[in-house]
């Protein structure tokens, strides 16, 4: 504790640090750094340290703006024509020439022509489209509603198109839902778990696309396709959530060590 008029380590006073209703927080010296168990016992330590971090950052930004003499000026650079245009054309011509040279030196082997009278046993797209091909194999999920003389309500192909729309719609909504400034998974455990769920889902859908190569029943493979991503997402969230408190505490302490009080 400090006196009311005595300045704190971050340049403020004791009264300024009590705007949140709590006592002022100070960073302990290196020889008094609490252990992980001690930090868990001090339930207010992380909150106080985080508050002091933002208060000090705000004050330093205000001081820098007040003392700065920077004046915005036009940035000088090379014109697009002819400097940048000629340079880009030269680089593009070089790579196109290399591609033509490699194609002429090592022409691709096309193999035997396909037989139009027979259909291959296994038809697969390129490997990077396996997940999309797997969405077209969701036949077991198609509700077998006995309507219209026993026909299903939605065709299997139309169900695959709807699944593609759901996937692309979810991907398009992520930038509008996640507006945080976090750059590390431990700072946003929920969105990190969502990302892991999406990656694992793409892998399981790819496995569903090549189901003929796996010795599993189709129903079991479909169940694992949607169960494994959820489990991986839950595990990721739980692990990052437990790491977040220690990470934020160490991050704030590192900030004070790199930028000592004035």
Residue 113 falls within a domain, yes or no?
A: no
Question: Is the pLDDT confidence value at 249 over 70?
Answer: no
Domain containing 25 equals 6-57
Per-residue pLDDT, 20: 47
Q: Is the pLDDT of residue 30 over 70?
A: no
Would 241 be classed as within a structural domain?
yes
Residue 87 within a domain? no
pTM over the 0.75 mark: no
In a domain, 99, yes or no: no
pLDDT of residue 72 exceeding 70? no
Return the structure tokens found at 83: 């400097």
- 136 and 252 assigned to the same domain: yes
Burial of 181 (0-12, 13-18, 19+ CB in 10 A): exposed
pLDDT at 32: 56
- Regarding whether 44 and 133 lie in a shared domain, the answer is no
CA distances from 12 to 9, 20, 252, 257, 260 (A): 7, 14, 18, 18, 14
- What is the count of structural domains for the chain? 2
Q: Is 206 contained in some domain? A: yes
Residue 139 inside a domain? The answer is yes
Adjacent-strand bridge partners of 151 = 147
Please check the confidence at residue 177 and state whether its pLDDT lies above 80: yes
Residue 82 lies in a domain: no
């Amino acid at each position: 504790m400090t006196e009311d008029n005595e300045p704190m380590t971050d340049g403020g006073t004791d009264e300024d640090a009590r705007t949140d209703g709590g006592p002022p927080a100070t960073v302990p010296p290196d020889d008094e750094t609490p252990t992980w168990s001690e930090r868990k016992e001090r339930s207010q330590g992380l909150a106080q340290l985080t508050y002091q971090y933002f208060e000090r950052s705000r004050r330093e930004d205000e001081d820098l703006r007040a003392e700065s003499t920077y004046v915005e000026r036009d940035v000088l650079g090379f014109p697009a024509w002819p400097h940048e245009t000629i340079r880009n054309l030269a680089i593009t011509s070089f790579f196109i020439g290399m591609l033509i040279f490699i194609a002429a030196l090592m022409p691709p082997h096309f193999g035997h022509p396909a037989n139009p009278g027979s259909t291959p046993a296994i038809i697969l797209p390129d490997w990077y489209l396996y997940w999309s091909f797997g969405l077209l194999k969701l036949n077991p999920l198609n509700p077998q509603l006995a309507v219209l003389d026993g026909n299903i309500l939605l065709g299997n192909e139309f169900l695959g198109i709807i699944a593609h729309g759901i996937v692309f719609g979810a991907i398009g909504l992520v930038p509008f839902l996640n507006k945080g400034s976090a750059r590390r998974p431990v700072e946003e455990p929920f969105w990190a778990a969502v990302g892991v769920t999406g990656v694992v889902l793409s892998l399981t859908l790819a496995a569903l696309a090549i189901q003929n190569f796996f010795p599993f029943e189709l129903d079991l493979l479909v169940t694992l396709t949607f169960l494994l991503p959820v489990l991986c997402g839950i595990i990721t969230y739980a692990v990052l959530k437990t790491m977040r408190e220690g990470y934020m505490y160490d991050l704030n302490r590192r900030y004070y060590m790199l930028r000592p009080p004035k």
